[in-house]
Amino acid sequence: MDQFILQILNGLDKGSAYALIALGLTLIFGTLGVVNFAHGALFMLGAFVAVTMSKLLTLSHKVVDETRTDFLGNPLQVEVPYIYDWFGQATGDVIIDWAVPISIIAAIPVMIAIGFIMERGLIKHFYKRPHADQILVTFGLAIVIQEIVKYLYGANPIPTPAPSAFVGSFDFGVALGFDPNAIIYPYWRLVYFFFSIGIIAAVFAFLQFTTFGMVVRAGMADRETVGLLGIDIDKRFTIMFGIAAAVAGLAGVMYAPINSPNYHMGMDFLVLSFVVVVVGGMGSLPGAVAAGFLLGILESFASMSAVIDFLPGINQIIIYLVAIIILLTRPRGLMGRKGVMEE
Amino acid sequence: MSNSKFSRRGVLKTGMVASAGLALPQYLRADAHAGFTNAPGDSEVILGFNVPQTGPYADEGADELRAYELAVEHLNGGGDGGMLGTFSSKALDGTGILGREVKYVTGDTQTKSDAARASARSMIEKDGAIMITGGSSSGVAVAVQALCQEAGVIFMAGLTHSNDTTGKDKRANGFRHFFNSYMSGAALAPVLAANYGTDRKAYHLTADYNWGYTTEEAVKSSTEAMGWETVNAVKTPLTQTDFSSYIAPVLNSGADVLVLNHYGGNMVNSLTNAVQFGLREAQANGKNFEIVVPLYSRLMARGAGANVAGIFGSTNWHWSLQDAGSQAFTRSFGTKYGFPPSQAAHTTYVQTLLYADAVTRAGSFNPCAVAEALEDFEFDGLGNGPTLYRGADHQCFKDVLVVKGKENPENEFDLLEIVEVTPVEQVTYAPDHPQFAGGALGTCNPGA
């Protein structure tokens, strides 16, 4: 039982990342009809906003310490962050410690701007082209973004720790009456899960309860009629692209402490997120979220050693296996709408 | 009437033969030069540096390339000479190799076996490289080593740690300076027993590929010989990025040590996840829970940040070693590039010097003469103490470093501290040891 609960918990944070990326993918597909293979790159860029914020907050000047030497025997040049000069070391350390949460503030405008540039600069020229063309150009764009990040930040992962207040794990085992250490779960992953739920709720509330969201939903259902009513739906859809980029970026920012960001992390999530979208049903926002969590949890169960011993290799194929079963039994996915990508 | 001596048929025949000759790969041509592949001319010799320039190990590849450039500079008489001054063999004098200026070409392995073979093949066939060296993965090393054997050039392996490179996949034309999984296990086990006791239960997470298997086997057998018990060993996909579902059950498995047989991005992520799950602070079986990383790389440790603090592992070399060779290399490299070299940089620099030295001592670029000069060659002054290039399997035998993540690093390069220099006798094994069983060196292939 404790192992069961443990793997559900493990699946939740992974599922949160899948759900957030798949949500953005579905938003873009539902509004603009574009299959965006560069969406994983947006997730990765979000994580690198956190990396950049950490680097900015630790920008330093060098002070020579004559009492110590470097590896070549020269006087040691100690790097002192400018933030120490401005706020003192104690306050400076707190600000540096909270670099990841602070990055959220920067990530929203940065990611919306990147989304706008991406949509206006490249993707809008492919609206009327076949999906295959869209996939090719966005995949190419993802590779370009990836290589730029690698050029700027290198190929190695860059540690981006969570604030020290969130280091460590919560012992659910004790709380639920099991043995100590039976169910442990890192605090930051809990934060990530609740953050994702908050973002998902905010996106749904925005679409459901605002006039802007209502128009967007109407446009997703019948773009032509909304256009005939004199509403500039294209402009709203561009804004939705920016919002989808921000959602992916925020997912990336908060993911940075879970696994040290590297230039390739977007690609690692992209393919799985597409499977999530297909399983959830193309164009269905609740489907994307539900499938994200479902596949995240199933992936966790498949990683249990008892399961691997019984079915070797199942951990590597479980998501694709589930996708095949669901598509065979429900060709439109879990919550897919009729007519989407069926013309 | 024409007085020409050329008939149409004759011209066609000659043309076809000439075209066929031109189309032949360079290394298959018998104009060979002196009976071996890519015999150099009188003025220059070309070496092929095959390193990951793209992909996840690109930073490690970049450091290897820096070391190669430094080695070429020193071989040609430039810079401060680096380890040429400390090397026990005095055959090299800074005038290139056998009087030829050393030039080089580079290839990108991408850390993919097929790409690495393609780039090595291109350097041999198109660029005329007489020796191929480099790489940051055992899969690549084994693949390129086999290609070099077929092509008739020497392969001086870069960073490759799997037992198989000089075990079941060894080749007569291939040589490895880097240490291996067996040596890591043999060096680590006594240190682990001394620090954590002999009554320990280990849980292994192992990358699901060749290097992972040999490392798991080596560490398991060494620690079990010390009295440890292996509770479980779980294979993790090489492409895995989040190890939480593999790490979460560890604390409740009865184990009190987690061994991460992971390298590169796998190691960074699994270690980070393990620390997040509180394994460092946990108690199990009435003892402090411990984590072990059998193969450390400073470049990778940087990715894991503060999470490496206090964690034991092994490494081939570290820039903080105080012997004259290590100091000379660190000084040359640090002065040229502004930061200390990695173990990947060290092994590739040393391999280049060892090749050049063997050619010089043999007085020939013929791969078979070079191989003979390398076999059972004993040397010192290259950073690892007295070393033997064993003829039976082309593996270097030297001291192994057991290291620990520093608790309070002073900078991003100061991440590991040397705990023990394990003497070579303790990590030496018989050529027919079960962990290296199967395969045979075969005979040297000079190509051409």
Q: Is residue B99 part of a domain?
A: yes
Cβ pair A14:B242 closer than 8 A: yes
Position B311 in a domain: yes
Confidence of residue B403 (pLDDT cuts 50, 70, 90): very high
Interchain pair A159, B239: CB under 8 A: no
pLDDT, mean over chain B: 90
Q: Are B389 and B396 in contact (CB under 8 A)?
A: yes
The CATH number linked to B331 is 3.40.50.2300
- Residue A18 in contact with residue A319, Cβ under 8 Å? no
pLDDT for B248: 85
Is A260 close to B244, i.e. CB distance below 8 A?
A: no
> What residues of chain B lie within 8 A of the CB of A260, using their CB?
268-269, 272, 303-305
The answer to whether residues A22 and A28 touch, using CB atoms and an 8 Å cutoff, is: no
In chain B, the number of structural domains is 2
pTM over 0.90? The answer is no
Count of A–B CB contacts within 8 Å? 129
> CA-nearest residue of chain B to A186?
B277
**Closest residue of A to B203, CA-based?**
A305
* Residue among B138, B126, B164 at smallest CA distance from B439: B164
Residue A75's SS3 state is strand
Residue B294 and residue B208 share a domain: yes
Torsion over CA: A283, A284, A285, A291 (sign): negative
- CA distance, residue A206 to nearest chain B CA (Å): 31
**What backbone phi and psi angles, to 5 degrees, belong to B432?**
-100, 25
Whether residue B305 and residue A184 make contact (CB cut-off 8 A), yes or no, is: no
Residue B61 shares a structural domain with residue B169: yes
**Among B93, B92, B83, B73, which residue's Cα sits nearest to residue B324?**
B83
Same domain, B292 and B340: no
Say whether A315 and B320 touch across the interface (CB within 8 A).
no
Residues of A in contact with B411 (CB under 8 A): 79
Instruction: Looking at the structure, tell me whether residues B282 and B369 fall in a common domain.
Output: no
Per the domain annotation, does B278 fall within a domain? yes
Which residues in chain A touch residue B344, judged by CB atoms under 8 angstroms apart?
A: none
Give residue B68's pLDDT: 98
ipTM of the complex: 0.83
Q: Judged by CB atoms within 8 Å, which residues 204-263 of B form the interface with A?
A: 232, 234-235, 237, 239, 241-242, 244-246, 248-249, 251-252
| pLDDT above 70: percentage of residues in chain A | 98
Q: What is the pLDDT of residue B25?
A: 46
**Which chain A positions have a beta carbon within 8 Å of B54's beta carbon?**
150
For the cut 80, the answer to whether the pLDDT of residue B15 exceeds it is no
**Cβ pair A157:B335 closer than 8 A:** no
Is residue B256 a part of any domain in this protein?
yes
- What one-character DSSP code corresponds to residue A337? P
Q: What is the bridge-based pairing of β-strands B257-261 and B283-284?
A: unpaired
The reply to whether B399 falls in a domain is no
Task: From chain A, pick out residues whose CB is under 8 angstroms from the CB of B276.
Answer: 167, 169, 186, 188-189, 258
pLDDT surpasses 90 at B404? yes
- pLDDT, one tens digit per residue, over B105-126 is 999 998 899 999 999 999 999 9
Q: Is residue B398 part of a domain?
A: no
Residue in chain B nearest A307 by alpha carbon: B234
What chain B residue is nearest to A183 in terms of C-alpha separation? B248
Decide if A260 and B269 are in contact by the 8 Å CB cutoff.
Answer: yes
Residue scoring higher pLDDT (B392 or A171): B392
Closest CA to B137 of B341, B295, B273: B295
Is B303 inside any structural domain?
yes
Which residues in chain B have their CB less than 8 angstroms from residue A316's CB?
A: 237, 239
User: What pLDDT is attached to residue A342?
Assistant: 54
Residue ending a domain, among B289, B315, B341, is: B315
Which residues in chain A touch residue B237, judged by CB atoms under 8 angstroms apart?
Answer: 315-316
Chain A residues touching residue B231 (CB < 8 angstroms): none
Cβ of B276 within 8 Å of Cβ of A14? The answer is: no
A142-156, B215-229, B343-357: lowest mean pLDDT where? Answer: A142-156
Structure confidence at residue A341 (pLDDT): 54
Residue A197: both structure tokens together: 């739920």
Q: Which residue of B has its CA nearest to A146?
A: B55
* Choice among A124-138, B129-143, B174-188 with the minimum mean pLDDT: A124-138
Predicted local confidence at residue A71, as pLDDT: 84
B59 and B97 inside one domain: yes
Residue B94 and residue B82 in one domain: yes
CB neighbours of residue B378 within 10 Å: 11
Give the 3-state DSSP-derived string for chain B, with helices as H, strands as E and coil as C.
CCCCCCCHHHHHHHHHHHHHHHHCCHHHCCCCCCCCCCCCCCCEEEEEEEECCCCCCHHHHHHHHHHHHHHHHHHCCCCCCHHHCCCCCCCCCCCCECCEEEEEEEEECCCCHHHHHHHHHHHHHCCCCCEEEECCCHHHHHHHHHHHHHHCCEEEECCCCCHHHHCCCCCCCEEECCCCHHHHHHHHHHHHHHHHCCCCEEEEEEECCHHHHHHHHHHHHHHHHCCCEEEEEEEECCCCCCCHHHHCCHHHCCCCEEEEECCCHHHHHHHHHHHHCCCCCCEECCEECEEEEEECCHHHHHHHHHHHECCEEEECCCCCCCCHHHHHHHHHHHHHHCCCCCHHHHHHHHHHHHHHHHHHHHCCCCHHHHHHHHCCEEECCCCCCCEEECCCCCEEECCEEEEEECCCCCCCCCCEEEEEEECHHHHCCCCCCHHHCCCCCCCCCCCC
C-beta separation of A254 from A19 below 8 A: no
By C-alpha distance, the chain B residue nearest A69 is B410
For residue B252, which residues of chain A lie inside 8 Å, CB to CB? Answer: 2-3, 6, 173, 179, 181-182
Query: With contacts defined as CB-CB under 8 Å, which chain B residues touch A184?
Result: 248, 251, 277-278, 282
Q: Is B58 on the interface with A (CB under 8 A)?
A: yes
Please identify, among B345, B361, B393, the residue that sits at the C-terminal boundary of a domain: B393
Q: Could you tell me if B224 and B115 lie in one domain?
A: no
Q: Which residue type is seen at A150?
A: K
Q: What is the pLDDT of residue B23?
A: 46
Are B325 and B366 found together in one domain? yes
**What letter would DSSP give residue A123?**
G
Contact B59 A6 (CB under 8 A): no
Give me the residue from A189, A260, A300 closest to B272, CB to CB: A260
Range of the domain at B162: 44-179+320-393
Nearest CA distance, B313 vs chain A (angstrom): 19
B235 and B285 share a domain? yes
| pLDDT beneath 50, residues of chain A | none
Measure CB to CB from residue B246 to each of A155, A158, A303 and give the nearest one. A303
Residue B277 maps to a domain: yes
Q: How is chain A split into domains, by residue range?
A: 2-47+100-329
Tell me whether residues A179 and B252 touch, CB distance under 8 A: yes
pLDDT at residue number B373? 97
Say whether B251 and A181 touch across the interface (CB within 8 A): yes
